[in-house]
Amino acid sequence: MAAASVIAPVAVKEKTPVPPIDRKEVCPFLLRVFTNTGRPYHISEFSRGNLPPNQVSIYTWMDATLKELAGLIKQMNPDARRKGTFIDFYVVFPQVLQGKYVQRHWQYLCG
């Protein structure tokens, strides 16, 4: 006896467009950026209240692109301006229940 398969239509939920942020009215937030040449920081360098050196403070908005952030990093870091430079973006955040930090590779841009 053959098994019957049923295909049910699935409603695809469209994303609601996010309205653009009015940068004259909305206050920016502080983004702490840690720059390094040659390799990304190891996650252990963020543990126990320690932070890596070479911190750059960037005030930006939630709708900022990585290209925009890379441009700001290049303004503040001469090494990032060299031709052929790759800028890797990692997100580092605490996992409160485990008591440790987690690092996720986000994306890289070629400068």
* Structural domain includes residue 93: yes
Q: What is the CATH number of the domain that holds 62?
A: 3.10.20.550
For 8, other C-beta atoms within 10 Å of its C-beta total 4
* Structural domain includes residue 12: no
* Structural domain includes residue 89: yes
**pLDDT tens sequence across 93-102:** 888 888 788 8
Q: What's the total number of domains in the chain?
A: 1
**Top mean-pLDDT range of 31-40, 43-52, 100-109:** 31-40
Distance in angstroms (rounded) separating the CA atoms of residues 54 and 98: 27
Residue 5: pLDDT band by 50, 70, 90 thresholds? very low
Is 70 in contact with 87 (CB distance < 8 Å)? yes
State which residues form the domain around 73: 29-110
* Structural domain includes residue 95: yes
**pLDDT tens sequence across 45-79:** 887 778 888 888 999 999 999 899 999 988 988 88
